[in-house]
Amino acid sequence: MVRSSPLDTSHRTSSAPRRPADILRIDVPALILHGTGDRILPVDNSGRPFHRALPSAGYVEIEGAPHDLLWTHAEEVNAALLAFLAK
């Protein structure tokens, strides 16, 4: 009997950056983009913890955007990328 699927357990396994030591070694400009509507990797379990682990990174939450925000919210993603690259 299957008790849970990978989707059911993803929130438990992605609740914090997996290798914080690796994140701390990032020494180049970084941008974290995350959709608030992501049900595969919820923003509270992925985007926000990564930003707390790497506070020097740019961080943009796209309201209502799902996991595949690159396709569904291309204009917002591109605007965030262009703003980041312009710095």
Classify residue 1: in a domain, yes or no: no
* pLDDT top residue among 18 and 64: 64
Helix, strand, or coil here: 75? helix
Residue-number span of the structural domain to which 12 is assigned: 6-86
Task: Give the domain CATH number at 36.
Answer: 3.40.50.1820
pTM listed for this prediction: 0.75
Residue-averaged pLDDT of the chain: 85
Sequence-distant (6+) residues with CB within 8 A of 63 are 35, 36, 37
Task: Specify the residue for token string 């209502």.
Answer: 64
Give the tens place of pLDDT for each residue, 21-42: 788 888 999 999 999 999 999 9
The two tokens of residue 46 are 């992925």
* pLDDT top residue among 6 and 71: 71
Classify residue 79: in a domain, yes or no: yes
Inter-CA distances, 84 with 25, 46, 49, 53, Å: 20, 20, 20, 19
Residue 1 has pLDDT above 90, yes or no: no
Q: How many domains does the chain have?
A: 1
| Residues paired with 58 in a beta bridge | 31
